[in-house]
A and B are shown apart, each in its own frame.
Chain A
């Protein structure tokens, strides 16, 4: 076979090949986003398993001595902010799908603020705990939950922020202020990425309901 590649510029592509690559890229973003949620589910499931395993074992009657509780108002505040960020991300994604970039950006940046405040509260909550990390099984799993929630909020907020930052640079490809759906390749890829990001936030909101109930309510 003859060597026809220009190594500095990549392969020469026919329009059909470009179309194939584009579909593959969009499919990768779509399936990658869902697979990432699958991975994250197993991570959070480890925490849920640990919680119920230690709770049911109640070794030395030390699962939750002295009725330890994390501060409820922090828990609700963090969760509501997470839900708000998720709703804003999903709303923004739907507006973007209709071609309204400005709505996406306003909703998105508000979501970033919600995510950052939730992150701040989750870290600050360590100052307000009435128990030591190793005081009980509950306290340990709570610290594990807090660390994982910090990780979740960092990932979600980073993902939201980077899509917004990208949208500012892609303004022209996305269609500018015109409320019409751009069919530019970069715009299609971008929308696929935003959809995956919004799904992840939705996942955090739904998973957060279970975790908040476990650690603050039950």
Chain B
């Protein structure tokens, strides 16, 4: 079967061939004189200086600025123009500017070698690899700040940091980690794998995809710039009125959120449109890989929830700069308004982080159990259900503030309801494991750990949705432990599973299995030893974001801190494995090392620039493992490569 069997050809004759590519401008040519990371940095620095100077020029005479010694307008303009300079320097604005005189961008010239990773690339695979480095950098920075937090908490009376510095470290850690986590799977694995999994040769809007990455990096730098500006004391939630009273670091927080929000919207928009329109012939909705379902649900959340965060950040910036009073109660605003806007985004964000993790384990487990994914349609429906319900639960974050008490039961109910589709997804995993002959490879170990961790995180989440429990443990370490179990125990373990599983495809090199198992066991054990005691610490009354605590809790805190340091070492093992396997002692990966039926494994290795020699035609469901006589998943169109449902490991 070829593509013509699925597509009518009667109109083909009326379609002319695509126009020849427009001549690429000098900015797109390979070589160090063109646009790349270096020119982006220069653009950002020049933009910041110019914007800051201009902000001072136009506003320094205003009394409220002259008397305060702070000029938030100059700070905001400096950072905004810096971001613009960054985008201009990397080449993100070439196309929008050329469009104003009617020019369309042509195909990008192929840039070979390492330098393509430092450029504005339109290849989704390059963008995926750029994202991997970007999120690992985020994670490393946020992880160092976590180590600083746990160091401070070693002793309740002897302090390393002042209380002011401590809360700023906590705030920066939370913000960096949450922003990193929103993109940790959608960015690297979503961008790299979705076109391959749906049989597409490209993304729908590759420029928007590249924009999403480079503005994500700019957002990271803006959020990080809060530290030299003195930090911000609000935690990652940025609550007013503290937000309004805080110093210039708060501008970095608000603008950073808005900038990263733009990147999230762009990423979600592009991926959603790609999945809707670029599925290969025969890939009906019921044949979509479960990972793609999860990314689609996530993309819907990214595109619809993030504009609210953007608006909230914009209002906060207006409060900080031109002195509006959105969040100033004394002047007709309301600090609760921020809470509402923030959590309308913030709770779907939790599922922006969780859903792709479920998608990864749903994709990987059939490979290592050699069984079809149990109740595939229930899993897909569960993901859509979670995405829809996530818009109706945000008020549970306001149980203690800013909510009519009569409304609490309603939001308690919606929050408990969301555990039902989440439970479906969990049961799909358990059903897949049931009576399976499991291959305990490193990716599978991480998948199984996710279920263990998420069970604890999920059950404590159900407790927290109940108003009486919520009121009792609010603002304490119990909540902190709960969300670390769901986000780190769920998302980060899934990310690791995905990296170990797909890096051979992405890089052509196998990760070392022995070191990988060391990494897994140390990460799993010390993650639990770090965060489980925090449930107890929280129930015994230790509040979050406070640098001291009751002396009788020191033993548990010390245990947690030492475990956290060892958890940090487990990440060093991962980095060591990455360096060893990719650069020091690389081992060439087989074409399909796990015997997966996934479409992404059926194309050449390394993946060609346009992914597939012929657009494949999908023949059947994606998970027909160990099913004798099942048809091949896809007709690759070249007469050579077909995936079979019974692979070598099944025969073995």
Residues of A within 8 A of B (CB): 1-5, 7-11, 14-22, 24-25, 27-28, 31-32, 35-36, 38-40, 42-43, 45-47, 49-50, 53-54, 57-60, 62-65, 132-141, 143-144, 147-148, 158, 161-162, 165-170, 173, 183-186, 188
Asked if A140 and B19 make an inter-chain contact with CB atoms under 8 angstroms apart, the answer reads: no
A-contacting residues, B85-126, CB 8 Å: 99-104, 107, 109-110
Does A35 contact B303, Cβ atoms closer than 8 Å? Answer: yes
B610 touches A16 (CB 8 A): no
Report yes or no: B324 in contact with A134, Cβ–Cβ below 8 A. Answer: yes
B333 and A161 within 8 A (CB): no
Taken together as a complex, chains A and B put the C-alpha atoms of A188 and B331 apart, in Å, by 53
Q: Is the pair B311, A35 in contact by a Cβ cutoff of 8 Å?
A: no
- Told that A19-B7, A20-B615, A170-B102 touch, could you supply 17 new A-B pairs with CB distance under 8 A? A2-B613, A7-B110, A10-B610, A14-B4, A20-B3, A21-B201, A22-B15, A25-B204, A28-B278, A42-B305, A46-B308, A59-B330, A137-B331, A137-B334, A138-B332, A167-B102, A185-B18
Bound-state Cα–Cα, A138 to B274, Å: 41
* Alpha-carbon separation in the docked complex, A159 to B535 (Å): 53
The answer to whether A43 touches B100 (Cβ under 8 A) is: no
Interface-side segment among B35-43, B265-273, B479-487, B558-566: B265-273
Which residues of B (260-314) have their CB < 8 Å from a CB of A? Answer: 265, 269, 272-274, 276-278, 281, 303-305, 307-308, 310-312, 314
A12 to chain B, nearest CB (A): 8
Any A CB within 8 A of the CB of B239: no
Contacts of A58 in B (CB 8 A): 332
- Nearest residue in A to B321 (C-beta to C-beta)? A133
Contacts of A53 in B (CB 8 A): 334, 336-337, 340
Given A31-B273, A32-B205, A162-B99, are A54 and B604 also a contact pair (CB < 8 Å)? no
Instruction: Classify the secondary structure of B's interface with A.
Output: loop
Q: Is B157 an interface residue (CB 8 A)?
A: no
* Chain A residue with Cβ nearest B14: A183
Is A165's CB under 8 angstroms from B15's CB? Answer: no
Contact B14 A59 (CB under 8 A): no
Q: With A134-B328, A140-B326 in contact, do A28 and B274 touch (Cβ < 8 Å)? A: yes
B409 within 8 A of A: no
Q: Would you call B277 and A24 a contact (CB within 8 A)?
A: yes
In the complex, chain A residues whose CB is within 8 Å of the CB of B326: 50, 54, 140-141, 144
CB atoms of B277 and A132 under 8 A apart = no
Q: Hey, which chain A residues are within 8 Å of B584, CB to CB?
A: none
Q: Does B651 contact A (CB under 8 A)?
A: no
One of B7, B100, B103, B329 near A59 (C-beta < 8 A): B329
* A21 vs B352: C-alpha distance when bound (angstroms): 30
Q: Are B273 and A32 within 8 A (Cβ)?
A: yes
Given A24-B278, A54-B337, A165-B100 in contact, is the A17-B273 Cβ separation under 8 Å? no
Q: Contacts A3-B604, A3-B608; is A18 near B102 (CB within 8 Å)?
A: no
Instruction: State which residues 7-60 of B face A: CB under 8 Å.
Output: 7, 9, 11-19
- A64-B613 Cα distance, complex, nearest whole Å: 65
Nearest CB on B from A200, distance (A): 14
Q: A11-B613, A28-B273, A185-B18 are in contact. Are A144 and B318 (CB under 8 A)?
A: yes
With contacts A7-B110, A43-B310, A50-B326 taken as known, whether A62 is within 8 angstroms of B331 at the C-beta atoms is yes
**B609 in contact with A7 (CB, 8 Å):** yes
Contact status A15-B205, CB under 8 Å: no
Residues on the B chain within 8 Å of A35, using CB: 269, 272-273, 303
Whether the Cβ atoms of A39 and B307 lie closer than 8 Å is: yes
Partner of A11, one of B15, B310, B610, B641: B610
A40-B324 contact given A17-B614, A53-B334, A136-B331, CB 8 Å threshold: no
Chain A neighbourhood of B272, CB < 8 A: 35
Is A185 touching B15 in the complex (CB atoms < 8 A)?
yes
Partner of B323, one of A28, A36, A65, A133: A133
Pair B341/A50 contact, Cβ less than 8 Å: yes
Inter-chain contact A50/B337, CB cutoff 8 Å: yes
Instruction: Give the residues in chain B near A63, CB-CB below 8 Å.
Output: 332
| Contact (Cβ within 8 A) A136 B325 | yes
B275, chain A: closest CB distance, angstroms? 10
CA distance A141 to B325 in the complex (A): 9
- A9 to B108, alpha carbons, bound, how many Å? 10
Beta-carbon contact of B312 and A46 below 8 Å: yes
In the assembled complex, which residues on chain A have CB atoms less than 8 Å from the CB atom of B205? 28, 32
Instruction: Give Cα distance in the complex from A5 to B604, angstroms.
Output: 11
Is B614 a contact of A60 with CB atoms below 8 Å? no
Partner of B314, one of A137, A147, A168: A147
- Beta-carbon contact of B204 and A16 below 8 Å: no
CA distance A83 to B332 in the complex (A): 32
Does B638 interact with chain A (Cβ within 8 Å)?
A: yes
**Which chain A residue lies CB-closest to B602?**
A1
* Chain A residues whose C-beta falls within 8 Å of the C-beta of B19 in the assembled complex: 173, 186
Flag if B304 contacts A16 (CB, 8 Å): no
User: Can you list 6 contacts pairing A with B, beta carbon distance less than 8 Å?
Assistant: A1-B613, A5-B608, A60-B330, A133-B318, A135-B331, A144-B324
Once the chains are docked, how many angstroms separate the CA of A185 from the CA of B104? 14
A15 vs B550: C-alpha distance in the bound complex, in angstroms? 74
Shortest CB distance A166–B (Å): 5
Q: Whole-angstrom distance between the alpha carbons of A42 and B303 in the complex?
A: 9
Which of B11, B204, B315, B609 meets A28, CB within 8 Å? Answer: B204
| Also in contact, A17 and B3, with CB within 8 A (given A46-B311, A147-B314) | yes
A167 CA / B608 CA spacing, docked (Å): 34
In the complex the two chains form, is B7's CB within 8 Å of A1's CB? no
> B322–A143 contact, CB under 8 A?
yes
Is B2 close to A, CB under 8 A? yes
Residues of A within 8 A of B110 (CB): 7-8
* Chain B nearest CB, measured from A64 CB (Å): 8
Kindly state the separation between the CA atoms of A8 and B337 in the bound complex, as whole angstroms.
Answer: 53
Q: Note all chain B residues with C-beta closer than 8 A to A50.
A: 311, 315, 326, 337, 341
Indicate whether B603 reaches chain A with its CB closer than 8 angstroms.
yes
Contact: A133 with B15, CB < 8 Å?
A: no
Query: Are B201 and A11 in contact, with the CB atoms below 8 A?
Result: yes
Judge whether B312 and A134 touch: CB under 8 Å. no
Chain B residue numbers with a CB within 8 Å of A158 are 100
Measured CB to CB, the nearest residue on chain B to A136 is B332
Judge whether A134 and B323 touch: CB under 8 Å: yes
Q: How far is the CA of A43 from the CA of B265 in the complex (A)?
A: 11
Smallest distance from the beta carbon of A31 to chain B beta carbons, Å? 5
Cα distance A14–B12 when bound, in Å? 10
Cα–Cα distance between A148 and B100 once the two chains are bound (Å): 22
Complex alpha-carbon distance, A19 and B4, angstroms: 10
Cα-based distance from A88 to B190 in the complex (angstroms): 39
Is the CB of B640 closer than 8 A to any CB of chain A? yes
CB pair A14–B3 under 8 Å, yes or no, is: yes
CA distance A64 to B331 in the complex (A): 10
CB distance from B189 to the nearest CB of A (A): 21
Q: Are B330 and A31 in contact (CB under 8 A)?
A: no
